């Protein structure tokens, strides 16, 4: 007992050191492949990570989110691809029954060719392991990987980049319309110790391409773990991409995610971020509208139960004129959970005729739940329309009574109203199977909370 306490208190000061020593293990595991171009990027990112250190609440960007619990753990890096007996059958539980999809499975951040089902994929659409791509040292990797996401000022992006080794590479060529969605399933599993994975995705859609992507973060472990993921998404001219993200990490997980999108002229990006899991969650969703007429829609739904902390930071960077952006984030917070929403809208000097709308609404279900919400507008152009609004409320007692007076139980009435609150985010999701699943997830989580 004493030993454990000592180790933990020591690790507060050595949080960084642990990752530095993990990096040495990582280098050894590369078996001499450490000479490549990518490895110098890794080392540079590691140096940045060491210099930045873990942010504290004194850092404005982390004001409401104390990550010190995360820094106390010695997470084992999952350096090797291993299925540990995991079969395609085990993966079934994470798929949607009525939804045909191209399935990509990552286990502890490693692309699993065995568990992925990509048959029928048009021959010019590429869905591959990032490891293979790194080894081939292809032009596309050189052109895009790490180009739009910067680890300069972000500890976790730096950490992810330092351990960059595997993940998913997707390329949709010009004029290709993929009618069936791509479902990426990120599974965390390990039974021996606390562990970390750093999945990385690079998704490049060409001119006039269209694709719908679904990402699920799931787990098969009782251990505390840490997912530190970075996704880079590039939309070519007139491309359309819908990105649905369902985060169902365990209640013992730390989940830090960065999604960086880069949009060219007339492209259209929609993100549906559906956040349910994790004990400490931070999502950074940054979208750059870098071509005239590009449009982005960020929809978010977060449901906090127990003592979860769910932090959503979004940035929409209007870099060019005539770009509309729409943002609707809704939070449901129960138990002792805490939510953070920070929505930054940046309108650069040349981005005239920007039309940006941001809304954050929160439903607080208990006295101990809370939300810190903050819009952040940085506007340097003069002919723009930017609106923002935030609300924090409770369930309407009149509405509860109305439903009960028709025979609906108190619990069911509350469920109906909570679901109704979430419905305008859910209704925007195009994949019906996902909408149905969300109904169940919300119901199950609230049910568990009551017990």
Tokens of 420: 């109704």
Nearer to another protein, 328 or 399 (CB): 399
Our CB check for another protein shows the closer of 6 and 396 to be: 396
The least CB distance from residue 401 to another protein, in Å, is: 6
Taking the complex as a whole, the smallest distance from the CB of residue 414 to another protein amounts, in Å, to 12
Tell the smallest beta-carbon distance from residue 426 to another protein (Å): 10
CB of 409 to another protein, least distance (A): 5
- When the beta carbons of 285 and 418 are compared against another protein, the nearer one is 418
The encoded tokens of residue 80 equal 């090797």
Q: How far is the CB of 440 from another protein (least distance, A)?
A: 16
Least Cα distance to 235 among 201, 266, 256 occurs for 266
Q: Which is nearer to another protein, 353 or 428 (CB)?
A: 428
- Cβ–Cβ contacts within 10 Å for residue 427, how many? 10
Nearer CB in complex with another protein: 25/410: 410
Smallest distance, another protein to C-beta of residue 165, A = 44
Provide, rounded to whole angstroms, the least separation between the CB of residue 218 and another protein: 28
Closer CB to another protein, residue 379 or residue 399? 399
Q: Would you say 43 or 428 has its CB closer to another protein? A: 428
* Angle, helix 397-404 to helix 410-426, in steps of 10 degrees: 120
Q: Residues 311, 70: contact at Cβ < 8 Å?
A: no
Nearer to another protein, 50 or 408 (CB): 408
Contacts with another protein, residue ranges (CB under 8 A) = 396-399, 401-410, 412-413, 416-417, 419-421, 423-424
Report the nearest approach of another protein to the CB of residue 276 (Å): 19
């Amino acid at each position: 007992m004493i030993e454990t306490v000592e180790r933990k208190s020591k690790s507060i000061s050595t949080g960084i050191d642990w990752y530095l020593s993990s990096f040495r293990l990582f280098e050894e595991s590369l078996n001499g492949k450490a000479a490549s171009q990518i490895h110098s990027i890794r080392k540079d990112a590691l140096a940045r990570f060491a210099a930045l250190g873990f942010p504290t609440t004194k850092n404005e960007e982390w004001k409401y989110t104390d990550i010190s619990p995360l820094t106390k753990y010695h997470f084992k890096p999952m350096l090797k691809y291993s299925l540990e007996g995991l079969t395609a059958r085990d993966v079934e539980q994470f798929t949607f029954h009525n939804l045909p999809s191209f399935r990509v499975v990552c286990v502890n951040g490693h692309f699993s060719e065995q568990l992925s089902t990509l048959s029928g994929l048009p021959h010019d659409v590429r869905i591959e392991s990032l490891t293979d791509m790194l080894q081939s040292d292809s032009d596309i990797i050189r052109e895009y990987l790490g180009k739009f996401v910067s680890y300069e000022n972000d500890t976790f992006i730096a950490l992810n980049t330092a351990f960059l080794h595997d993940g998913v590479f997707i390329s949709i060529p010009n004029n290709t319309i993929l009618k069936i969605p791509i479902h990426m399933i990120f599974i965390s599993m390990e039974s021996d110790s606390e562990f970390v994975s750093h999945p990385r995705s690079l998704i490049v859609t060409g001119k006039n391409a269209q694709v719908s992507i679904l990402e699920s973060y799931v787990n098969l472990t009782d251990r505390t773990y840490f997912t530190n993921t970075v996704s880079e998404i590039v939309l070519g001219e007139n491309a359309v991409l819908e990105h649905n993200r369902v985060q169902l990490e365990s209640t013992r997980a730390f989940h830090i995610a960065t999604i960086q999108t880069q949009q060219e002229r007339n492209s259209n990006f929609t993100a549906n971020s559906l956040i349910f899991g994790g004990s400490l969650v931070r999502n950074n969703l940054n979208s750059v509208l870098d071509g005239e007429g590009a449009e982005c829609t960020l929809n978010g739904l977060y449901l906090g139960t127990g003592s979860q902390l769910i932090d959503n930071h979004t940035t929409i960077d209007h870099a060019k004129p005539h770009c509309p952006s729409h943002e609707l984030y809704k939070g449901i917070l129960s138990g002792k959970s805490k939510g953070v929403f920070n929505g930054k809208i940046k309108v650069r000097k040349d981005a005239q005729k920007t039309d940006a709308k941001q809304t954050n609404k929160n439903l607080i279900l208990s006295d101990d739940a809370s939300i810190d919400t903050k819009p952040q507008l940085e506007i340097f152009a003069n002919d723009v329309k930017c609106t923002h609004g935030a609300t924090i409320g409770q369930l309407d007692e009149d509405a509860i009574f109305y439903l009960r007076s028709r025979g609906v139980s108190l619990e069911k009435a509350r469920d109906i109203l909570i679901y109704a609150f979430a419905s305008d985010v859910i209704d925007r999701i195009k994949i019906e199977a996902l909408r149905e699943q969300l109904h169940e997830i919300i119901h199950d989580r609230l049910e568990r909370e009551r017990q």
